[in-house]
Structures are given as structure tokens and as C-alpha cells.
């Protein structure tokens, strides 16, 4: 039997981007993943599909799995010959309860390895633009837990230039009282960083005298507190000339498609929260597409109107033992730059791309007479627009529609996005298709009903609604009552440019 091993591993401060390379490699071989709170859900996608995933989070004031049970699980899986990853937020040796786990592993002769992670004690101040050391303002700093403030030596702590406190949100007032009792001035700067390194990160700055009122009735978990004169350096360190700096954008696309748009927005300084509003899946049956693929030589044109249509068509083409050479006698028309780029990745160039990147433009500018032409149109199974088929048929073409994929609505709203909407953290919501608007509205209604809140329009009253083009805008008006931004060029790049123009003129 293969020897088992346990990896006590730090996940970093809360974002996949800050996982170490060693951590990435270990997750890829995991048989069992036992993970804590504050771990980026994207990390869970890095383990093999057959990996056993067990959530063992511990949050103050909430029920949690006893440490003894976790210790037993680690030992048991290891003795079964499994590669076990014990994934902890931050670094496993900074308030990570690693010692009792190591003791249990050693007592049972289990092999283990500790893999460091970036602690939020270091990352949160940095990402907030606060240097923990400075030759004039901070010669040293201390990191401590605020879980039980009364047990700490505040007389000694108060003398240290910079104080970093983890798990101190619930004890903020007690911490401030202790420091002032031991001589720290009420005007001492303080910063509170919640959800460090995540898209919903928030920062409050003030003084020991003012901060409690600033964050009254706000949940401060998870949070990192920084106290000291270096907090005054934050504006100098974090100022940015990027056009979308300070704006939080909610991206409503399918999970498979959101990354590129998020990257574009982040490059312009935006904080991005992704809310999957589409789930892309295979069609209910491949029969019609398979039949069309078997008779590709009969068609004059292949029309592709989405990256999903391209990907699913060519994937199925390969499954049927064919490749792009089967399209030798077929001309290809695509709608949109993204669709054309996706087609190019398959090693195929489009014969025709309409100038305005929309289906209506394809009909208006089609390069040859359509009468008598036979056209293959792989498309979404349900819910797509019918105008293209109707207009092509009206000009004498015979259009064969075949389902190539299906787009559905997720079962519930993404919790992170819902929290951000409730807490009025969102400045802009972007929509890149009518379906994302419809699904977003449905998910929002569901969440509002279960939480007895106001209408979707009320919740979005101060949020800018941005659309990629006319058809999406029409659906925005129908569902949400308004559109504030519409891209001039109907692409993700065009939508990004439209957001920048709106920010510059608002």
C-alpha cells in the first residue's frame, strides 16, 4: 500500500492569486482535503475530481468540529495511505492550531510536511497600503490575537510602535480601552481591514477615539486591525491613477467566461466580484448536431454566434472523429470578436464577421445572396433570439438549427455577491447578455423573498447598471427599469471602455 502523508498547508490570505507554487502542486495530488474557513472556494477546484473534501471550519461564536475529531481524521486517512491536505487560512503556524495536529501525527508515526502560507497579518496591511515598518514611524511591530484581550500584557503592547491584531473584531472596544488605559493617545491612527485580499475587501481608517462609532453595527469578521502611526502612510502608498480605482464591479457572466472580463476590469483598478448568472452545459441530446456533422458537405455556411457555440461544436466534431478539415467546403460567419477569437483558437479563421458585432448586423451585411443557401446554425438549446433564423429564412436561406449547448440559471445567488449587494458595496453591475439580466433578476427576487427585503429596484437604487449592447439594454429596461451605461462597441473591451468613460464624467 502507498505510504500516506499529511500536508499542513497555508492557503494564504483569502485569494487564489496568493497561493504558493508548492501549495498548488500539493493540492493537485490530494486524495483528501480537510479545509478551514477563509479559504478561497477556487482553491477547492484545484484538487482532483475524486478527492474527498471535508469542511472543518472554526468561527468564533459558531458550532465547529472539535479539534480531537480533526486530529483523528488526519491520522486515519494517513494510515489508509492517503495524501491528505490540511488546508488552513493564512499560515498554518500563525494561530493555525497546527501543534495538536502534529502531536497526533507524530504519536501515530504518520509522515507530515508543513507548507507555509502568506499570513493575513502581513498581507492585509500591505494590500491596504500600510507598511508595518518605517525608519521614522515604526521600528518594530507585534502580531497578536484579539480573541481574549483581557489575558494580554497591554502595558508591554502599548509601548510597541505598530500593533497588528487578528480575530479582534468582537473585542475592538475592549482593545481600544486597554491601549488608552496604558497610555496610547486617543488620536493614535487605526485601520480595520475586513475580508483581506478578497474582492469585497473593505477598509475603515480613523483613530482610537473615533473608530468604534465608524464601524458600529458592522460585522467585523474576518478582520485585521492595524494600530500605529504607519496607518497615516496608507494614502501615500495606496493612491492610484487607474481609472476604475475605488470602484467595485459585479460581473454577471457564466463561471467559465468571467475571468477575462474580470482581468480587464482589474487592470483598470476595479475591485471585481464575480456572480455566475449562467451555467453552461451540454444539450439534452446530441442527435441533431451529430446528424449535421455527418452531413457537413451539404451546407454552404456555418454560423456561430457565441464562444460557447464554437467550443461545443468543435468538441463534438472531435468526438465524432472529425476535425476542422471537415469544414473545407463550408464558409463560416461569426458574430462578435470573442467568437472569432475562440474560432481562431481552433485553428480556423472566419470568412465573415459583421461590422457591429451583433446578429442583426450579420443579416444586413451578409457578403452574398442568401437565396437557396443551406446554413447550419449550432446554438443554445432554449431561450435564444429567433430574429436571426427568421431574417435568414426570409431572404430565402434554409436554416438548420441544432442545439449545441444549454444555458441555465444557477440554483441560488452567489453568497459573496449577495452579501456585497446587501451591504451596498457594489458600484456597478455589468451585463453581457440578456440571459444574464433575466437570471440575475430571478436570483435577486429569490434572495429578497427569503430575506423579506425590498424590491430589486430598491436594492439597486444607487448601483450603476452597465450593458454590453442594445439587446441586453432592452432586457435591462424590462427587468430592472433602467440602463446607465451601454457600450458603443459591443465587446468586453468596449464595455470596459464605457465604464471608464462613465467614471471620468461622473
CB 305 within 8 A of CB 379: yes
Q: Which residue has cell 431561450? A: 383
Considering its fold, how many domains does the chain have in total? 4
Catalytic residues: 36, 58, 167
Same domain as 216, residue 195 = yes
Averaged pLDDT, 130-137? 94
CATH number at residue 496: 3.40.50.10090
Residue whose C-alpha cell is 453552461: 280
Tell me: do 34 and 180 sit in the same domain.
no
Give residue 175's domain range.
122-238
Nearest to 218 by CA among 242, 236, 194: 194
d(CA 476, CA 487): 14
Has residue 211 got a pLDDT over 50? yes
| 354-371 per-position pLDDT tens digit | 876 566 677 778 889 989
* Predicted local distance difference test score (pLDDT) of residue 411: 87
Same domain, 10 and 87: yes
146 has pLDDT over 60: yes
Give yes or no: residues 129 and 158 share one domain. Answer: yes
Q: How confident is the model at residue 8 (pLDDT cuts 50, 70, 90)?
A: very high
Residue 436 located in a structural domain: yes
- Which of 159-173, 233-247, 316-330 comes out lowest in average pLDDT? 233-247
Span 123-142, average pLDDT: 94
Question: Looking at the structure, do residues 46 and 83 belong to the same domain, yes or no?
Answer: yes
Q: Name the band, by pLDDT with cuts 50, 70 and 90, for residue 374.
A: very high
pLDDT for 235 equals 62
- CA 355/CA 360 separation, integer angstroms: 10
Of 289 and 253, more confident: 289
Question: pLDDT tier at 239 (50, 70, 90 boundaries)?
Answer: very low
What phi and psi values does residue 279 have, to the nearest 5 degrees? -120, 115
pTM for this predicted structure:
0.59
Same domain, 387 and 285: yes
As a whole number of angstroms, the distance between CA 102 and CA 113 comes to: 9
What pLDDT is attached to residue 237?
Answer: 52
Question: Which of 238, 267, 289 is at the close of a domain?
Answer: 238
In a domain, 52, yes or no: yes
Average per-residue pLDDT in the chain? 89
Look at 496 and 389; give whichever has higher pLDDT: 496
Asked if residue 420 lies in contact with residue 460, where contact means CB atoms within 8 angstroms, the answer is: no
Query: Distance of CA 222 to CAs 200, 207, 404, 445, Å?
Result: 12, 20, 43, 28
Q: Same domain, yes or no, for 287 and 398?
A: yes
**193 lies in the same domain as 131:** yes
243 falls within a domain: no
* pLDDT exceeds cutoff 80 at 182: yes
Q: Which domain CATH number covers 73?
A: 3.40.1010.10
Residue 472 CA to residue 486 CA, distance in Å, equals 9
Boundary (domain end) residue, out of 407, 422, 439: 407
Q: What is the per-residue pLDDT for 62?
A: 58
SS3 labels along 303-355: EECCHHHHHHHHHHHHHCCCCHHHHCCCEEEECCHHHHHHHHHCCCCCCECCC
Amino acid at each position: 500500500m502507498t505510504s500516506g502523508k499529511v500536508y499542513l498547508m497555508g492557503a494564504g490570505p483569502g485569494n487564489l492569486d496568493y497561493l504558493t507554487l508548492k501549495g498548488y502542486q500539493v493540492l493537485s495530488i490530494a486524495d483528501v482535503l480537510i479545509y478551514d474557513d477563509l479559504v478561497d472556494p477556487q482553491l477547492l477546484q484545484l484538487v482532483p475530481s475524486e478527492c474527498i473534501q471535508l469542511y472543518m471550519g472554526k468561527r468564533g461564536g459558531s458550532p465547529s468540529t472539535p479539534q480531537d475529531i480533526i486530529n483523528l481524521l488526519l491520522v486515519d486517512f494517513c494510515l489508509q495511505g492517503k495524501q491528505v491536505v490540511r488546508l488552513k487560512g493564512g499560515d498554518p503556524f500563525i494561530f493555525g492550531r497546527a501543534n495538536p495536529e502534529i502531536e497526533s501525527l507524530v504519536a501515530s508515526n504518520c509522515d507530515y510536511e508543513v507548507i507555509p502560507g502568506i499570513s493575513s497579518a502581513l498581507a492585509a496591511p500591505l494590500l491596504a497600503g500600510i507598511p508595518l515598518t518605517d525608519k521614522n514611524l515604526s521600528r518594530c511591530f507585534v502580531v497578536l490575537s484579539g480573541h481574549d484581550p483581557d489575558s494580554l500584557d497591554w502595558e508591554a503592547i502599548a509601548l510597541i510602535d505598530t500593533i497588528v491584531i487578528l480575530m479582534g473584531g468582537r473585542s475592538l472596544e475592549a482593545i481600544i480601552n486597554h491601549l488608552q488605559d496604558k497610555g496610547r493617545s486617543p488620536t493614535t491612527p487605526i485601520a480595520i481591514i475586513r475580508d483581506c485580499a478578497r474582492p469585497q475587501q473593505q477598509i475603515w481608517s480613523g483613530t482610537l477615539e473615533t473608530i468604534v462609532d465608524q464601524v458600529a453595527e458592522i460585522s467585523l469578521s474576518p478582520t485585521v486591525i492595524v494600530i500605529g502611526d504607519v496607518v497615516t502612510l496608507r494614502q501615500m502608498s495606496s493612491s492610484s491613477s487607474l481609472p476604475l480605482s475605488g470602484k467595485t464591479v459585479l460581473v454577471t457572466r457564466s463561471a467559465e467566461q468571467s475571468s477575462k472580463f474580470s482581468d480587464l476590469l482589474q487592470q483598470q483598478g476595479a475591485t471585481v466580484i464575480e456572480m455566475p448568472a449562467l451555467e453552461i452545459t451540454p444539450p439534452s441530446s446530441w442527435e441533431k448536431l451529430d446528424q449535421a456533422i455527418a452531413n457537413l458537405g451539404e451546407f454552404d455556411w456555418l454560423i456561430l454566434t457565441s464562444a460557447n457555440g464554437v467550443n461545443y461544436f468543435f468538441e463534438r466534431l472531435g468526438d465524432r472523429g472529425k476535425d476542422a478539415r471537415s469544414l473545407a467546403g463550408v464558409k463560416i460567419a461569426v458574430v462578435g470578436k470573442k467568437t472569432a477569437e475562440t474560432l481562431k483558437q481552433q485553428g480556423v479563421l472566419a470568412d465573415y464577421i459583421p461590422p457591429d458585432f451583433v446578429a442583426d448586423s450579420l443579416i444586413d451585411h451578409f457578403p452574398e445572396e442568401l437565396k437557396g443557401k443551406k446554413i447550419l446554425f449550432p446554438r443554445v438549446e432554449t431561450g435564444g433570439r429567433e430574429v436571426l433564423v427568421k431574417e435568414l429564412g426570409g431572404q430565402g436561406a434554409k436554416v438548420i438549427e441544432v442545439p449545441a449547448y444549454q444555458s441555465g440559471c444557477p440554483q441560488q445567488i452567489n453568497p459573496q455577491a449577495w452579501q456585497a449587494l446587501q451591504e451596498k458595496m457594489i458600484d456597478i453591475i455589468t451585463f453581457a447578455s440578456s440571459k444574464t439580466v433575466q437570471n440575475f433578476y430571478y436570483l435577486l427576487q429569490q434572495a429578497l423573498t427569503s430575506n423579506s427585503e425590498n424590491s430589486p429596484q430598491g436594492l439597486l437604487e444607487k448601483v450603476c447598471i452597465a450593458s454590453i449592447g442594445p439587446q441586453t439594454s432592452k432586457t435591462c429596461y424590462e427587468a430592472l427599469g433602467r440602463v446607465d451605461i451601454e457600450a458603443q462597441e459591443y465587446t468586453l473591451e468596449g464595455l470596459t471602455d464605457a465604464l471608464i468613460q462613465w467614471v471620468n464624467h461622473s
